[in-house]
Amino acid sequence: MANIHDVARVAGVSISTVSYALSGKRSIAESTRRRIDDAVLQLDYRPNAGARMLKGTRTNILALSAPLHAGTYAPAHMAFVLSVVTAARKYDYDVLLLTQDEATSGLRRVARSSLVDGIILLDVSTVDVRTDLVRELGLPAAVVGIPSDTTGLICVDLDFEAAGALSVRRLTEQGHTRIGLLGQVPLVYERGSNFPARFRDGFLAEAERQGVTVGFVPSGEDAASVRNAFDALGAAVPGMTATVLNSNESVQVALLELLRQRGVSVPDDLSLISACSSFDTTHFDPPLDVIPLPADLSCARAVELTMAQLNGVVDPHVELIEPAYVDLGSTAVVP
C-alpha cells in the first residue's frame, strides 16, 4: 500500500510539500500540485480522503468503530464511546458510530463514500480484520488498543502489562507471596480481546520476577460463577492472602458480598485490588484500591492523533499511558 513517502518520491518533492498540498495549509506552485495530483492517482494514495483535502473540504465527521461483541461490558464500552465523542467535539467534529460485530463493511462503506475524514477503532482484538482495512483505506486513523501487529498503525492505550506488574509489586511490597488474579469472563479471552490478556501476561511475568506464587481464573458475572471462580482460585493458590480483580463491576460487587457472607474481612483477612477499572470503586463496601482505566486520556489522545494526521504527517507508532495506583485502604501489610 502506497504511503506519503511514495507520493513524495514519485512527484519528486519533499514529504512536507505533499502534506501541504493535501491539507491546503500552504500555497503550492501549480506545476508542483499537478505532479502531486498525478502521483496520488498513480499510486491510488488515499483516493477519497486525499481528493477531499486537495479540494480543501472536509466533512467534520469521524467514524468510530466500536463493535458490540458477545461478552462486551456495556458500561465500560460506552465510557470509551462517550470519551471519543467528547474529545471530537473540541475540534468541532461529530462522530458516526459503527457497532457491527465485524464493522468492516460499515467502515468500507463510509470511507468509499467520503462520509468521514478519519477513523477511530475501539475494542480491537489481538488479530483484528479492521486494522488491515484501516491500512488499506489510508484514511487518518487511530487505534485505542494494541493488536498483535501494529505495523503502519497509530495506537494508544493504557499500558496494561505495566498495570499487571504494578498490582503485583504493590502487594509484594506489603509482604504478600500468594496472590490470585480473578479475570474477565472466559469469552473475552477466547475471542482474542487484547487488553485482558496483556494485563494477565504482565501480572504473571512480574510474579515470576518476584518469585511469588500466583494463580489466574476467569469469572462469569453471576453470583454462582463468581463463587466457583473464587473457590477455584483459592484451590490453585492455597493460603492466598491477596486477590487482584481484573473484572467487571458486577463481578467485584458479587465477590465482596461473598466475602461478607463468609466472614472474610478486607483487608485484614484478604487484600483486594480493582485493576484497570473504568468504574468508581469508592462506593464499594469497603472501597477498593484501584488502578484506573483512563478512557478519557486514551480516547482524547486518539482523536488528537487523528486530527494531527489531517493536518500533516504523523508516523505510525504506539503510545502507552502509564498506569496509576489509587490507595483506598483495601490492601494491608502481611502480619
pLDDT in tens, 107-161: 887 877 778 999 999 988 899 989 998 988 888 999 999 999 999 999 999 999 9
Show Cβ contacts of residue 57 under 8 Å, excluding neighbours closer than 6 positions. none
Q: Are 287 and 328 a contacting pair, CB within 8 Å?
A: yes
- Region 291-317: mean pLDDT is 94
Higher pLDDT, 11 or 270: 270
> What is the pLDDT at residue 137?
85
Show Cβ contacts of residue 98 under 8 Å, excluding neighbours closer than 6 positions. 63, 64, 65, 66, 67, 106, 107, 110
Boundaries of every domain in the chain: 4-45, 61-157+295-321, 160-292
* Residue 297 identity: L
- Alpha-carbon gap, residue 59 to 48, rounded angstroms: 12
Note whether 61-157+295-321 and 160-292 share their fold.
yes
In 10 A of CB 149, how many CB atoms? 13
Please, what is the average pLDDT of the chain? 89
Least confident of 61-70, 183-192, 262-271: 61-70
- Alpha-carbon gap, residue 170 to 34, rounded angstroms: 60
Q: Are 229 and 184 a contacting pair, CB within 8 Å?
A: no
- Alpha-carbon gap, residue 40 to 21, rounded angstroms: 11
Surface-to-core class of residue 258, CB atoms within 10 Å of its CB (0-12 exposed, 13-18 middle, 19+ buried): middle
Q: What is the CATH number of domain 61-157+295-321?
A: 3.40.50.2300
C-alpha cell at 110: 463510509
* Residues 207-235: tens digit of each pLDDT: 999 999 999 999 999 999 999 999 999 99
Say whether domain 160-292 belongs to CATH 3.40.50.2300.
yes
C-alpha cell at 100: 457491527
